[in-house]
Amino acid sequence: MKYVLMFVETEQFAADLIAMDEPERERAYARVRQWFADHHDKITHHAHLMPADSATTLRLDRGEPLISDGPFVEGKEIVSGYAEIEVADLDEALRIAKSWPACPVVEIRPIAA
């Protein structure tokens, strides 16, 4: 079964990352690289997203399409990246997601066949 893991940053997580000195930040990034290496056999695709302020939103529910700068929702949590995984079931997806070493929120969603 395929799932997407969406990595969600909180304002506090982003602030903590900015406050780190360079060696500490590099150790944090190294833990993320190691997580991807540890799960490479299950990950079919992954990407880091540009910041939310680089988003463009297209609304199609108001008659004429409305294009606006910025994310769909202004919030304290933003999706900063994702990984597609192929695993046996949700339990395996949860085991992988629980080991994520960075953003404090991971949304797990099945991919439609």
Cβ atoms of 104 and 47 closer than 8 Å:
no
Range list of H helices, 39-104: 90-98
Range list of H helices, 39-78: none
**The predicted structure's pLDDT at residue 69:** 85
**Is the model's pLDDT at 108 over the cut of 90?**
yes
User: Residue 58 and residue 87: Cα distance in Å, rounded?
Assistant: 33
The 10s digit of each residue's pLDDT in 1-16 is 999 999 999 989 999 9
Domain map of the chain by residue range? 2-110
Cβ atoms of 36 and 46 closer than 8 Å:
yes
Per-residue exposure over 47-79, b if at least 16 CB sit within 10 Å of its own CB, e if not: eeeeebeeeeeeeeeeeeeeeeeebeeeeebbb
The 10s digit of each residue's pLDDT in 43-71 is 999 999 998 888 888 889 888 998 888 76
Domain 2-110 carries which CATH code?
3.30.70.1060
Cβ atoms of 93 and 3 closer than 8 Å:
yes
**The predicted structure's pLDDT at residue 101:** 97
The 10s digit of each residue's pLDDT in 67-95 is 888 766 667 888 999 999 999 999 999 99
CA-nearest of 61, 41, 47 to 5 is: 47
Coil vs helix vs strand at 88: coil
**The predicted structure's pLDDT at residue 73:** 65
The 10s digit of each residue's pLDDT in 24-44 is 999 999 999 999 999 999 999
